[in-house]
Structure 1
């Protein structure tokens, strides 16, 4: 019954005879918001149908592309419900937004573990190669045994074991995330979310405030999202982060009074608020004088910041493994410092992009 309802909603939403969504300043605020939500719900249902057609079982997406589309649509629907919450029935929108957040997180974990492993193994290879290039050539002063072969430095010695340790831990985490995603998407909870999105494709529960003109109401709510972002970014240590390689991120990672997780939290908040601001521009695009490419560039930089920070946390977790060899611990320490330096580099890039406007 639930699947038939989703198929019917998908057919209705994709009917070429259906009226196109209202965009821009045309119509009421509710017309514009409902049109965007229906469009994203249709994309969600299309990805779900594609995943089931490609071999997904129990509602689980059968391909990485289908999972990506589900996650992408879930985030956009949830962001729109958050930013334009005053226009929707709170008793309906808040639970749906929470469930869409759960779904997006469940689908993202496996990909994040895979990307983190690739990042760390690539960084280990890069650091080991740099050590070999910097290693001086030893020329014996008199006949004797040949000089040691390149690549015998402390980082190269421990790098292989550090890489194997990280691969074991992150592969296990990825496998667990994959199993958890399959279990979640075969659950009644997921089917309830999919049914709610199917209803959303044809019906959006709006309040009386949504009857106001789009230009008046959506502009105020969109600017509020931009203002929250500007306030959070203004609270960051922009002047300090604007100095290249100031060492703050590495010192914070080593200091007990300010762990890296706490220091990274304000930057992660800015990344989330930037996402809300970017998606608000999709719902209600208007010219505020900001270059179109700037939000996307800022998002890429903050995503690199998140990846490097979480990779450093994974290295810290690996270094806590009992009875690891000193060479392995040394390699993990160098790798951790490298990732925290990339965090610092991303902050430096963000400041210059942010202050350019």
Structure 2
């Protein structure tokens, strides 16, 4: 497969894109962070009661807090990513001091939503696989919004009649077990996020970003330095990481080696997943680097072409983590055989979703390579 080498320059831009563009981008993201922080405080800062899968309909305070937390996380990620890509243009002590703090903040704020989305994904998959008329775990607190979404879920490919009967028997208990485990994890993540947002550590980060909104600590040479070589280096790291992926294997609809390893009792993370997660991170850094350049011109075509590849990698991450959650639930001591069977089928289903996402990424990336080669 031919490597992708996108032109890091923008043909619509006149002259170099210098550190001044980086300063404008960082100031705008810091301003967005402060705006989201104000909204979070005005909405009560709760993000929904602990243990509740989603805000209640009409609970504008909770919805506003959840949206504000998302905006905080997005701004923190963009600032952190830009500091990573363009670090030669920034004061090293300041940059290296705040980057780990931004990573801590965005990671902490992401956990609650991740557990909620994982639970919904697994319960919907259980319903699809079992063909049950009643949503698994619906009787033990599944939200109305999630239950309504079941009506739009595809039927999938059901197992044989006998196997479906066995799966239906265990699906409700498997769903209840997953809901208990992931709701508890979400509750803990919610409490951790609230503690983080009230901590002195967070206030120190917010104070630094308040200063960043008006004063970006660039190096003396940054205003005259072109950003494009640094953006091109970020793209090259992404291209190299994609080249190292087993895209030939991803071009097949079934990866037996991955499924066999995934069904083993080893609780370690799947060894094939890590490189794909790394590519997802590098693609995000590449996108943020291009956002800085886009302040100097129109970068929309590239973003549109890369969007499908990014969406495939997001699905890959979600399915991989959902499969791990199903496997972890299956290791619960003294669960009924039917429950363990349902969780095993669920795990295999999510590993197949992983392979489908890899195939989708391969198709998107090859299409993007052809268009830009």
TM-score, length basis structure 2 = 0.79
- Please report how far the alpha carbon of residue 298 of structure 1 lies from its aligned counterpart in structure 2 after TM superposition: 1.1
1:167 pairs with 2:179: yes
Task: Assess, with a 3 A threshold, how the Cα gap between structure 1 residues 157 and 276 changes in structure 2: closer, same or farther.
Answer: same
Render the CA deviation track for 1:124-153: whole Å, top value 9, x for unaligned: 0000116996666xxxxxxxxxxxxx9971
Q: Gaps (5+ residues) in structure 2?
A: 1-11, 47-61, 132-154
1:223 to 226, 232, 236: 232
Render the CA deviation track for 1:38-79: whole Å, top value 9, x for unaligned: 00000000001111111227xxx9611100100010000000
- Please report how far the alpha carbon of residue 186 of structure 1 lies from its aligned counterpart in structure 2 after TM superposition: 0.4
TM-score, length basis structure 1 = 0.83
Q: Following the alignment from structure 2 to structure 1, what is the Cα–Cα distance between the partners of residues 220 and 112?
A: 41
2:249 corresponding residue in structure 1? 240
Contact kept? 2:245, 2:276, Cα under 8 Å: yes
Which structure has more RCO (C-alpha within 8 Å, separation ≥ 6)? 2
1:116 pairs with 2:125: no
Render the CA deviation track for 1:190-219: whole Å, top value 9, x for unaligned: 000000100000111111331324xxx211
- Please report how far the alpha carbon of residue 262 of structure 1 lies from its aligned counterpart in structure 2 after TM superposition: 2.2
Q: Bigger radius of gyration, 1 or 2?
A: 1
RMSD in angstroms over aligned alpha carbons?
2.6
Contact kept? 2:319, 2:353, Cα under 8 Å: yes
Q: Following the alignment from structure 2 to structure 1, what is the Cα–Cα distance between the partners of residues 292 and 335?
A: 52
1:347 corresponding residue in structure 2? 358
How many correspondences in the alignment? 317
1:141-180 matches, within 5 Å, as 153-180=165-192
1:16 corresponding residue in structure 2? none
Render the CA deviation track for 1:168-207: whole Å, top value 9, x for unaligned: 0000000000000000110000000000100000111111
Q: Following the alignment from structure 1 to structure 2, what is the Cα–Cα distance between the partners of residues 83 and 267?
A: 20
1:199 pairs with 2:199: no
1:39-188 matches, within 5 Å, as 39-56=28-45, 63-129=65-131, 153-188=165-200
Q: Following the alignment from structure 1 to structure 2, what is the Cα–Cα distance between the partners of residues 301 and 132?
A: 21
Higher mean alpha-carbon deviation, 25-34 vs 187-196, is at 25-34
- Please report how far the alpha carbon of residue 244 of structure 1 lies from its aligned counterpart in structure 2 after TM superposition: 1.3
- Please report how far the alpha carbon of residue 25 of structure 1 lies from its aligned counterpart in structure 2 after TM superposition: 5.6
Contact kept? 1:79, 1:279, Cα under 8 Å: yes
Task: Assess, with a 3 A threshold, how the Cα gap between structure 1 residues 80 and 24 changes in structure 2: closer, same or farther.
Answer: farther
2:286 corresponding residue in structure 1? 277
Task: Assess, with a 3 A threshold, how the Cα gap between structure 1 residues 249 and 125 changes in structure 2: closer, same or farther.
Answer: same
SS in 2 for 1:99: helix
SS in 2 for 1:321: coil
Q: Gaps (5+ residues) in structure 1?
A: 1-22, 137-149
Q: Following the alignment from structure 1 to structure 2, what is the Cα–Cα distance between the partners of residues 189 and 24?
A: 40
1:38 corresponding residue in structure 2? 27
Task: Assess, with a 3 A threshold, how the Cα gap between structure 1 residues 308 and 28 changes in structure 2: closer, same or farther.
Answer: closer
2:224 corresponding residue in structure 1? 212
Render the CA deviation track for 1:251-296: whole Å, top value 9, x for unaligned: 2313579955322100000000000001111001368996431222
Task: Assess, with a 3 A threshold, how the Cα gap between structure 1 residues 24 and 209 changes in structure 2: closer, same or farther.
Answer: farther
Contact kept? 2:36, 2:72, Cα under 8 Å: yes
Contact kept? 2:129, 2:159, Cα under 8 Å: no
Q: Following the alignment from structure 2 to structure 1, what is the Cα–Cα distance between the partners of residues 358 and 41?
A: 41
Q: Following the alignment from structure 1 to structure 2, what is the Cα–Cα distance between the partners of residues 48 and 106?
A: 15
Q: Following the alignment from structure 2 to structure 1, what is the Cα–Cα distance between the partners of residues 288 and 167?
A: 44
